[in-house]
Amino acid sequence: MPQALTFEKKNILVTGGAGFIGSFLCESLLRDGHHVICVDNFATSLVQNIETLLQNQNFRFIRLDVNEPFDLERLPELADFKLPFQGIQEIYHLACPTSIKKFDQFKIQTLLSNSIGNYYVLELAKKFRAKILLTSSSVVYGARQSHEKAVVETEQGTMDHLSPRGCYDEGKRFAETMFETYRQVHGIDIRIARIFRTYGPRMPLSDGQLVPDFILSALDEKPLVLNGGKEFRSSLCYVADVVDGLTRIMKAKEYPGPVNLGSDVDLSLEDVAKRIIEMTNSTSQMVEGENFAFLSELALPNINRAKELGWFPLVRLEDGLRRTVEYLKANKILLTSL
């Protein structure tokens, strides 16, 4: 077999690159000196997330929907990346709508992203023999069980595939099946990251997300709404740690199978809200909220497989919350006027 060509700068495609995690991933890849092609349709993301990257000569943004056929080689804005000659070396596939309060609005798009969108992106990987990583989710393990220990990657979760959120939960399971099938049939070098609940700057505001909405309410001296109830529990992993995990999984010499990325520290929603109130010196109170379909208690991750790749969440909750508070303070007027 002929040896693959190597290039000084890799051409790396990030689908969903203008989203919360995707934008931080693009920044990380640019710092490593690569050419980054960011595609997004802004369904649940913002151009503000990538504004500082648009002037970078190694960054190109293409607005498109991966659920529709696309041909990157024909785009004049990518001419400098020489795709017909160099191709694409790596693909990070993050494109999938994620919204708590608007979940019903994006159900069909979610269904398509977890099927047709995967097909188009996997075909691109097959064409260029690119290494491709899927950002899957902890939802593949199903809802948290009261007796459950941290879940390992070999465990098979159970879920109601006909539930109101089945298009996402079962969709992510099918997405993993598609990626594994392409590996078996076409020999594609795939990677699967199962991401657990993540927080940090650039999370959507007023969308039912826990941390940013708590902070915004605390800054405005408004009640902190505990959607899911005071007994709701979750782990929280800072976005920079998750991005570090994604790049480590991509760089691994051999594919170890799906890898859990998240914090294995169990937290109560009430405790997180109290910390934010104290951190912002707010007089806000806590009140019970709604139970949204897209907001559910999920299992805690066993992260031993990630540790074998040299990964461990380094950012303490206090430090991550502080960075997120500082970001919202600095950008509050802009973000709340969008």
**Active site residues per annotation:** 168
Q: Rounded to an integer, what distance in angstroms lies between the CA atom of residue 299 and that of residue 292?
A: 17
Q: For residue 181, how many C-alpha atoms fall within 13 Å in the half-sphere facing its CB? A: 11
324 neighbors 215 (Cβ within 8 angstroms): yes
Burial of 9 (0-12, 13-18, 19+ CB in 10 A): middle
- Say if CB 196 and CB 138 are below 8 A apart: yes
- Which tokens is 63 given? 């607005």
C-alpha torsion angle, residues 68, 69, 70, 71 (rounded to 10): 180
Strand-strand pairing, 190-195 and 131-137: parallel
Backbone angles phi, psi at 91, to 5 degrees: -130, 125
Sheet with 35-40, strands from edge to edge, namely: 59-63, 35-40, 11-15, 90-93, 131-137, 190-195, 259-261
Write down the residue that tokens 């208690």 correspond to. 297
- Over the range 16-36, which residues count as b (16 or more CB within 10 Å of their CB) and which as e? bbbbbbbbbbbbbbbeeebbb
Q: Cβ(35)–Cβ(83) under 8 Å?
A: no
